[in-house]
Amino acid sequence: MKLYTYFRSSAAYRTRIALNLKGITTEQISIHLTKDGGKQHSPEYRTINPQRRVPSLTLDNGTILMQSPAILEYLDEVHPNPPFLPKDPVARAKVRAFAAVIGCDIHPLNNLAPLQYLRRVLKQEQPAIDAWYHHWIIEGFTALETMIEPGPYCFGAAVTLADIYLVPQMYNARRLKTPLDAFPKLVAADAALMQLPAFDKARPENQPDAE
């Protein structure tokens, strides 16, 4: 399999974590999202991912999967151990809701494309863009802090989809200097998860294309 990735992309980051948890090795191909106007806009990559985003996962039979939620769901269905979701339907719904706060509400508003739109089209200065970024993280994290359950991870002692989503978003929050003092439960879960090899190996700074 081939994983088209970028070391700072949180969607690619969560996919790397998932692959590591499942024990799957891939060939990693870096798609630099900012160099030379963004390699994702090249004609070659557009044929792989028409949305021009990362990650993309090429299976051994040549099938190309895109969008990290779909890729994670595929991995969990084809490689069910360890599972990303609890067996209990209510517990599964809670884990999915936690992940969705990040994947549907925080990340899309703070992704590279909208930030570039704020800067290039709406002519916003960096302080305003930073304020936008912090606002949506704090809004989402305030909800997540109440949704998280006793640890060490987001929902107990088993790693779930919630953890796979949390860690990359925590990385982004710190990189953009978002204050985290109001979120001790999230910080504690993140610290515990980063002790696990699958999460440590997926760190942006541990990737071949890290700058």
Residue 41 sits in the same domain as residue 119:
no
Q: What average pLDDT does range 44-64 have in this prediction?
A: 97
Residue 142 sits in the same domain as residue 171:
yes
Confidence (pLDDT) at 211:
77
Report yes or no on 207 lying in a domain: no
Q: What average pLDDT does range 50-72 have in this prediction?
A: 97
Residue 93 sits in the same domain as residue 129:
yes
Query: What is the tally of structural domains in the chain?
Result: 2
Residue 95 sits in the same domain as residue 110:
yes
Q: What average pLDDT does range 44-52 have in this prediction?
A: 96
Read off the CATH number of the domain in which 146 is found.
1.20.1050.10
Confidence (pLDDT) at 129:
94
Please give the single-letter amino acid code of residue 73: E
Task: Determine which of 19-23, 110-114, 147-151, 163-167 has the lowest per-residue pLDDT on average.
Answer: 110-114
Q: What average pLDDT does range 3-9 have in this prediction?
A: 96
Q: Which of 133, 158, 146, 130 is nearest to 184 (CA)?
A: 146
Alpha-carbon distances, residue 190 vs 30, 108, 202, 204 (angstroms):
26, 21, 13, 15
Confidence (pLDDT) at 198:
98
Residue 72 sits in the same domain as residue 144:
no
Report yes or no on 39 lying in a domain: yes
Domain boundary among 82, 107, 128: 82
Report yes or no on 208 lying in a domain: no
Predicted confidence band at 36 (pLDDT cuts at 50, 70, 90)? confident
Read off the CATH number of the domain in which 21 is found.
3.40.30.10
Mean pLDDT computed over every residue of the chain: 96
Residue 78 sits in the same domain as residue 93:
no
Each residue's pLDDT tens digit, 72-99? 999 999 999 999 999 999 999 999 999 9
- Cβ of 123: how many Cβ atoms within 10 Å? 8
Residue 115 sits in the same domain as residue 56:
no
**Cα 77 from chain centroid?**
19
Does the pTM surpass 0.75? The reply is yes
Residue 144 sits in the same domain as residue 162:
yes
> Which range marks the domain in which residue 184 is found?
89-198
Each residue's pLDDT tens digit, 109-125? 988 889 999 999 999 99
Residue 62 has pLDDT above 90, yes or no: yes
Confidence (pLDDT) at 111:
87
Report yes or no on 210 lying in a domain: no
Q: Which of 113, 108, 85 is nearest to 18 (CA)?
A: 85
Q: Which of 131, 192, 205, 116 is nearest to 158 (CA)?
A: 192
Confidence (pLDDT) at 207:
95
Q: What percent of the chain has pLDDT over 90?
A: 96
Residue 96 sits in the same domain as residue 55:
no
Domain boundary among 82, 106, 124: 82
Residue 94 sits in the same domain as residue 141:
yes
Residue 14 has pLDDT above 90, yes or no: yes
Residue 59 sits in the same domain as residue 108:
no
Phi and psi at 120, nearest 5°, equal -85, -40
